[in-house]
Structure formats: C-alpha cells, structure tokens
Structure 1
Amino acid sequence: MIRKFEENDLTDIMKLWLDTNISAHDFIPGDYWKNNFEMVKEILPQAEVYVFEEETDGQIVGFVGLTDNYIAGIFVRNDYQAKGIGSKLLDYIKEIKPSLKLSVYEKNISAIEFYKKADFIIESENIDEDNNEKEFTMSWIK
C-alpha cells in the first residue's frame, strides 16, 4: 500500500535511505552517505514523500522522495527489490505529476535501465561535485 509519509516513519525511512544508498552505490565510499545522514534526516520531512507499506505487517519497504517534480530518490529495501515496488512508487507519482526529473549516477546501471523502461530519457550529463562521479539528468513528460 502506498501512502503519504507520516512523522513517525522517519526512523525507518532513514535506515532504508542509508542501507540502499550504500548497497546501490558501491562505487562511492559508505562514509559519504553516513556523513550526509543528519542533513537528509533534517530536510526529508519537508519533501513530498510517499511510502510503500507491506500490507501483511505494516513494515515500510520502500519510499519515494520528491521536491516539486524532481525525484530525489526511489528507495526499496534490498530484500524487496525486483518485486515491482519501485515501479509501483514511480507509477503512483507519474499519476500525480505532469513531468518528472531526476539525477542518477552513470555507474548505477540498474537504476538507469529502470528509468529508461519507465520512459525517462537522458537529457544531460554532468559531474557530481561532492564525489566527482558522472551523473545523468533524466526526464519524463506525461
């Protein structure tokens, strides 16, 4: 079930954010994510966030964070990946937004393929100055 973020979700969401960033971005030192944890924890509640809650036990197993039409990230717990949860979250926000943009690291090939399958196109490429990794800006229009 997809629902809007509630304040008491923050601890679960932040654990999910850290775990999935570290595993999905093995080309970036884990300390990069750990060092940004508190900052993200502070700003995340100000974003538009939707969580995917497991219907059997109410656990949060995924979430998407948005700022206007920019997808800050789609995060799915490792043991729930490849089960359609990321697609459901993406489809959900595609229903409520006329267009979407995001940034994705060039080395995160599975994420690039995921977004291409969902009709996103690569618009540009640049370097993330925080870690010198090449990233693509991708977009989708309804």
Structure 2
Amino acid sequence: MKTIKVTNNHYQELIEVWEASVRATHDFLPEKNINELKPLIFDQYFAAVELYCVKNEGDIIGFIGVADSNIEMLFIRPDFIGKGVGKQLILHAINELGASKVDVNEQNPKAIGFYKKMGFEKVGRSELDGQGNPFPLIHMMRQSSSAQLV
C-alpha cells in the first residue's frame, strides 16, 4: 500500500472515511457535533492541510492531514484500524512532512496510546477542543532529537 497525495477530487471519499472512523472511535462525540463538524471538515479543514492517503484496491482506507508540523487529522476506515495504515501515514508525516505535534481527544485513550507508541509524549492539556466544546485535548510532541522511525 502506497502513500499518495490527496487532491480535492478525493474529498468526498475522505469525508466518508472520516465519518466512519469518527463513529467507530469517538463514542464520546454526540451526533449533533458530528453533523456540525462534517461540513466544516469538507469545506474548510481539508483545504487547510497537506493531505495524504493510503489506498487498498483503489479505495481510500486512511488519510492524514498536516499543517505547520502539526498532525491535524488522522482517520482510518474501521475495518483497517490496527493493520498498519495509521503507522504508515504517521511515518510519512514525520519523515516527509516534518510532523512533530498532535492534539488528541482525551476521551480517545486508544489514539493516545497509538501516538505514544509512535514516539509522541504528552506536553500539555486543554479543557476545550478547537471548536470550544468541552472535549479536552491532550497536546503531544515528538522530540526531534529522536531517531527516525522506519
């Protein structure tokens, strides 16, 4: 599976991956918030980051978005979670895009554990998410002096 650059022609498929992933991993997020986020992500957030995806048999199975060395989004189709897609995308973001930071929902402990495994450490916490909602974020950073993961 190869990591490829995303174009806006992929946005519809990306939003489908996003929604499936969020529903599988963000059980703390009410339906109202998912419905509010979806158009924002499609209309604004995708265009604000460098997007890369992994395809399997022509279908996007995961994607990552990076801006200013921050991983802004990483979403994997639920049936591909735990199969190396996230790791492949993270390694691409670290090694090719210089990613070293990520904010993770505190209520998503599996994601926090994944980022720890990928060399990120907790450096802070915010009570509110980026939209001002009461979903605390854990700020994580990967030390640039660490050896590159392969």
TM-score, length basis structure 2 = 0.87
Q: Distance in 2 between matches of 1:115 and 1:61?
A: 19
Corresponding position: 1:136 with 2:138: yes
Say which structure is richer in strand.
1
Corresponding position: 1:82 with 2:82: yes
2:66/2:99 contact within 8 Å kept: no
Q: Distance in 1 between matches of 2:14 and 2:100?
A: 22
**Counterpart position of 1:28:** 29
Deviations 1:113-139, CA, capped at 9 Å, x for gaps: 000001100000111153212221001
Report the AA paired with residue 101 of structure 1.
K
Q: Distance in 2 between matches of 1:7 and 1:137?
A: 29
Structure 1 residue 29, shift from structure 2 partner: 0.3
Report the AA paired with residue 63 of structure 1.
F
Matches within 5 A, 1:31-110: 31-43=32-44, 44-54=46-56, 57-110=57-110
- Matched residues, number: 140
1:99/1:141 contact within 8 Å kept: no
Structure 2 portions without partners, runs of 5+ = 145-150
1:52/1:89 contact within 8 Å kept: yes
1:3/1:52 contact within 8 Å kept: yes
Identical positions, percent? 26
Q: Distance in 2 between matches of 1:29 and 1:92?
A: 31
